[in-house]
Amino acid sequence: MEIANTTASFSWSDAMYLKIIKETSETRASLDCYDIDYFLNIYEGLMLSDYLDALAKKDMVMKQEAIELANKQKKGKKKGGG
């Protein structure tokens, strides 16, 4: 963390602002009109959405791997069972 604090050119709050501005229709000026609770609720919602997307992607990968493994096992049984 020490290295990040000395080498990063922006703070954690700047990173939060960038994420919100990038993924919503908010601007820095519009966010400054609201209180911190609004800002944090938006950020939390975006992070939750990212987390759920990652879980869905991981689930699809695991299902695909399970299907491929089942197909390999079926092929192996057909070759070996003759």
Percent of the chain with pLDDT over 90: 70
Its domain, for residue 16, covers 2-81
Quote the CA–CA distance of 50 and 53 in Å, as a whole number: 5
Give me the amino acid identity at 40. Answer: L
Q: How confident is the model at residue 56 (pLDDT cuts 50, 70, 90)?
A: very high
Read off the DSSP letter of residue 33.
T
Residue 82 in tokens: 């003759």
* Total number of domains constituting the chain: 1
**Confidence (pTM):** 0.69
The packing angle between helices 36-81 and 12-23, to 10°, is 70
